[in-house]
Each structure stands twice: as C-alpha cells, then as structure tokens.
Structure 1
Amino acid sequence: MKLANLNPTAAPPDTKVASQTPAAAGSGKLRFFARGLVPYAYLSPTVILISVLMIVPIAMVVSYSFKDNVIVEENPVLVGLANYTKVLTDPDFLVALKNTFVFITVSTVAHLVLGLTFALMLNTSLLGGVTKAVFRIIYILPWLFTVAVIAVIWRLLLDPSGVVNYLLTTVGRMQQGVDWLSDPGTALWALTFVNIWAGFPFFMISILAGLQGISSDLYEAASVDGAGAVRQFLNVTIPQLRPVLVSMAVLDLIWTSQQFALIWMTTGGGPLNATEMLSTYTYKQAFSSYEFATASASAVIVLLLSLVLAFFYVRLQKER
C-alpha cells in the first residue's frame, strides 16, 4: 500500500495554475472594453451624420435667435428674448400663424375624409379587379407629380382664362373668370384645395392597407349579431383603423405645417399676406429682409410647435 503525499504545499501534477499575471488580466479587460465599443462603432457614422446635419445647425439657429445682426455683422450682440418678442408681436407673424392653422386643419381633415372614402371604394367587392386597378392608377396620379409640376399645373388651371373658370362660366355658375390665386378672398382656399389634391393619395394607400388588414371574421360576427353596413363601419372598421387614422393625422399636421415649396411657387405668400404661412414668413425674414436673427426666432417657434406634435405622435406609437 502506497502512502499518499502528505505535503500540503505540493500541487497535483495535472492541476493548472488559477492565478493570472497582471498583464494577462489587463489584456482581458482591454478585450472586454473593446468588445463593448463595437456597437458604438457601427452607430458612429449615423451619429456623426445626424450631428453634422441636424444637431449642429439647430444649435446654431437657436443661438442666433438670442443675438442681433447675426451673419450680416461680424460681432453680433446678445439681446436675449428680444427677437422672440419682436416676432410674437409682429402682425405679419400673427396672420401667418392664423393662415397656417387654417391650412393644416382643413388639409388634414380633408386628407383623412377623402383618403378613407377612396380607400373604401377600392376595397369594396362590388368592383372588379381591372376596374380597381384603373381607379388606383387615376387616384394615385397626383402623388406622382413633383411640387413644381403641381404648382405649374394648378396655376394654369386656376388662371382667369384657365380651364376651371371656363367650366364654371359655361355651366352658368359664374359670369366672369376669377383669378383664384391672386384674389385675397379666394387665394387661401384655392391653395388649400391644391394641397389636398396633391396629398390625399398617400392617405388613400395607407388607409387601404389598413382596411385590407382587418379580418373578415369581425364583419361576419357583426353580421350574425344583426349589424348592418353602417353599424359595421362604425363598430368594426373605424375602431380597427383608429391607430392608422390617428397616426396619419398627426404626421399630416407636421408635414403640412412645414409646407413651403407649393406655397412659394403658387402664391409666394400673397396676395396681401392672404396665404402667408410660418414657413414663408421665416423665409422672407431671412432672405428678403435679411433679418436672420428674427428668422431664427421664428424658426425656433416653428420647431417647438413641431416638437409638440411629434411628442404626441411618439406617445401614440408607444401606446400602440
């Protein structure tokens, strides 16, 4: 019988040393730290791009809004909230704010109503496949045109000698042609109509996708319970479409409030500020009056209003 090794300090011949040298421990921590930086390395190009194109310009505009004679003067003076006071008390800004409210409210409501109406028409089983395809092409045409093309088309159509006046005078609705975009009483409504015409196809396609995602079992269950077409629309279609409708409404409020190209190429904010919007007011302050500090203050106000709408949009998305 062999005696066991009774020396407590002797290690078994096949046992590995558990302890590590300080250099090995340091290299392990370095590898762990480098592995943690890999996700940030992938995100860094996007973060740099957003910082250069968004965060830095926004910060510069905000700083300009607290100074006077920016850009045109070498040493601008810090004036605090004076630019904001000047903008908020400017009658032209108040007119632009009112016109923007009317413009975005009417446009958003009309977009939703028209989009839902045409989407229901294209989703019905009463029309054949070929007929639906033809109507889809016709309805989506306004969305295919660029803003410049839309502005040129409608300026020609709404001209006193244009097609719209010709049709209205032919059917006896008018005695003589009206310059819709040059009359202060009709310019805002004509511009709003053009914006509605150009934007409703996007809502139609979005709502149509939502309609096609509603299960037919819900309509069958409602029909078994004795619900007619109207009750099915109110109790099945609208509740199922509510997330889509609310999201599209908030997005349209944001997009329409920032509309500039269509307004500038049709009326330029005129006549007599009848179609002046926050976007055109800000542009004129900067590049017509060269009041870049005032324009910056106006831009910050528009940004804050847009952030309020964006907050509600994000909150709705989280609730969904």
Structure 2
Amino acid sequence: MGVGGCLVVPWRCLVVLCLRLVFLVPAGVPVRSGDATFPKAMDNVTVRQGESATLRCSVDNRVTRVAWLNRSSILYAGNDKWCLDPRVVLLSNTKTEYSIQIQDVDVYDEGPYTCSVQTDNHPKTSRVHLIVQAVGFVSEDEYLEITGITREQSGEYECSASNDVAAPVVRRVKVTVNYPPYISDAKSTGVPVGHKGILQCEASAVPAAEFQWYKDDKRLVEGQKGVKVESKAFFSRLTFFNVSEQDYGNYTCVASNKLGNTNVSIILYEISEPTSSTLFQEETTTALTPWKGPGAVHDGNNGTSRRAGCIGLLPLLLLHLLLKF
C-alpha cells in the first residue's frame, strides 16, 4: 500500500485510464538513439519515519507533459493533483525540474515511484525507490528537559527508541554541570614544636578549583623556606617540615574557579610533646580499667567485673623502676 488513490469521479477516472494507456510508457518500449540519458536516472531516497521525502525529476524543453506515479496510481499530472492524500504536495514544475514531496512519511509509503515524461518523440520514465527507516535516532520533538539542574544530576543519561520492527536503538549522553567550588573538608591541626605539621583543604568544583593559602594577609607560595604548598584537582596541602613558634596561627584556604570562590579558616596550634611519665600514666590507667571482654570474671553479688590475675601489671612496674634510674 502506498500514498495516493484515484479520485472516484467517473470522467476523471476515464481520463486516468486514458493517461495510463496513452501517456504512460508501456513495458518493453525501446529508447531511441540520442535519448538514452533522458530523463536522468534518480538515486534512491532514504528518510526516517516521520520526516518529509522529496522526489525530484529532471526535465528540459523537450518535455510537453509530466506525471508522478506510485505503482499504478497517479499522484500528480502536471499541476493537477490526482491523489487523495493531503501529505503529497507539488514542489516544483519548471522547465528543469518536476518534483513532489511526501510529508510525515510512514512505513507504508516505502516502494517505487515513477516520473513519466512526454517528449516530441514518445513517453519515457525514470524510477526512484523510497526507503523508510522505521527505527532511528529520537525525533527532534523528543527531549529531556531538566530545570534548575544541580551538580548531583550530572552524569550519563541513556535514551532508548524501539518499536515492533527492529531491536531498540540506544544512545548515551554525558551531562557535565559546572558549579563554583565548595570546601568539603578542612580541619585544624595540633603539632608540637619541631615536628612535621600538615594542613589540608579539600574542595569540589567543575571546572577544577585553583587553591591559594594565606596566613593573616600574607600569601604563602611554593618554595618558601620550611613550607611546601602542594595542590591537586580536588585538594591542597600545606606542609611544615619543622614547626616553629612563628608557624602557629590562623591560615586561610581559598578555592576558586571561573564561576566563583570560597574560603575556610584552619588553625595550626601548639600541643605538648608527650613525655615518658605521661605515657606511663596512660598505660597504668588503661591497665587498671575493669576489663569487660572475654576472660573477665564477674562477681555475681555486686555485678562488677575484675580481670583474673594481676600478672599484666608486672612489666609496667619494672618499666617505672627503670625510668627512675
């Protein structure tokens, strides 16, 4: 089944019958010498379902009558439309071209179409085959709209088109959402004098953030004595190799890209270096704490627990005696 169909009017049908018998080329009519290339052969036309197909036929000043046919049905004869289908329209009828257009093409429109011309000698025809692709890319009116998109909605999206004719066609689209930096992690750090100290600032941003460090109003740069500034795509690290009293204080990490910037304050503060006596007190406290794990002996009267044996305290007592001498 194709486009078209003759108008059911007796006198017109008679004309159509005459056109088919007189005007159209019977099968097997030879082409005379000198006319072998006229009309020119047409390439097949391939369109996707729902698009418009244009069928073009080249003519010249030798042509006296023209027509387009779909199988045995006349679509147009000259400027006169002979089909009922409103999708079929005449585009051009000039001295050089005779063309029609089929709008909103469907699969049943696929098939052969014939351009028939009448010259001073005899009728000639040229055939074109219309190919309709039933499955293809998503049509232009199919889209996904995301209003007020956020950075959490970035990622890969998948679109699938399918029907009963062929297997689904899948296309993937990666969506990148640009946003200004936000600092996700930055903690103050305590370090004893003379030890190594590290301050780290982590930020998420697209495009990637650039980092800067400040102490008070002074910017810290790479190569400054005793300090190393190391920045990657999502974090920046400030390293002090030998912390002095002057290094303690408030530091500012600034993260920026072309969409904006943000900053956070981080404090490098002093803590006391642990001594041997401090370590002993911590170990003793830990040892004397009631043990509630496996191996504990529970007193059924008062509900308290005690560890079986005191042999675990002996090494600590020996260590304490050695530290006195």
TM-score, length-normalised on structure 2? 0.17
Rg (Cα) greater in structure? 2
Higher strand share: 2
* Higher RCO, Cα 8 Å, sep 6+: 1
